Amino acid sequence: MIIPALDLIKGNVVRLYQGNYHKKINYKINPLIYIKKYIEQDAEIINLIDLDGTQDPNKRQINLLKNLLGSINIVTQIGGGIRTSHDIEILLNAGATRVIIGSMAVQNFEEVKTWFINFGSEHIVLAVDIKIDANNFKRVATNGWQRISKINLEYIIEKFKSVGLQHVLCTDIDRDGTLIGPNIKLYQEITTKFPDITFQASGGISSLNDVALLRNSGVKSVVIGRALLEDKFTFSEAKRCWQKE
């Protein structure tokens, strides 16, 4: 499945280069226009990231998110600075289908486990954003990618399998926002190791050939941001490419 992605700062659609807030591209179109365009092309899920909330949960763009969600009828997964169970409640009550959990999964395993139990694993997406070193150690980043932990991807996934982990959004930070192509080897490796997890790939996608390669990598979905925003191809083209045998 192809999942269009929109990152939001102060109500504007943006893309960051490798998560760097100082390397920001602004797309001066109302996010609702993008979302409706994707829905018209039969998108089934939309991925929204509140980058203001990522930097400071107190600055979460909750009014914007409520307005967006109140104007559409589509599965949505939303992330950005989720620190408490109350944050999850707010987003689910606003109309989100799934809430994306990132940093807290590393910083407080036990707390996040209770979220899976209380809200249901179907309503939580575990975002695992990684930096891969020369030894193929996949270190998980936190705090809007500003910090690189000593925890690896495999450890995190094993930690949450016991509470029914279903959805994992895995991003290779070095690829994100770069249009240099996805890390196919990474996705082949993790989908083989964890066949019961529904993986979403993200980062570096620039062409329909990238989509085709990911289709055969084992992931169930591909999250695409910049390539769609910059008309490298349309959502409809990506969807047709994904559905090919």
| Bridge partner residues of 125 (DSSP) | 100, 167
Residue type for position 159: K
Parallel/antiparallel/unpaired status of strands 75-79 and 45-50: parallel
Residue in this structure with the two tokens 């807290």, named with its chain if needed = 104
* Of 163, 165, 137, 136, residue with least CA distance to 149: 137
Of 7, 50, 172, 176, which is the active-site residue?
7
CA distance 39 to 88: 25
Of 50, 52, 87, 129, which is the active-site residue?
129
Give yes or no: 7 in active site: yes
| Bridge partner residues of 119 (DSSP) | none
- The answer to whether 149 and 99 are in contact (CB under 8 A) is no
CA distance 111 to 193: 26
* Residues with active-site annotation: 7, 129
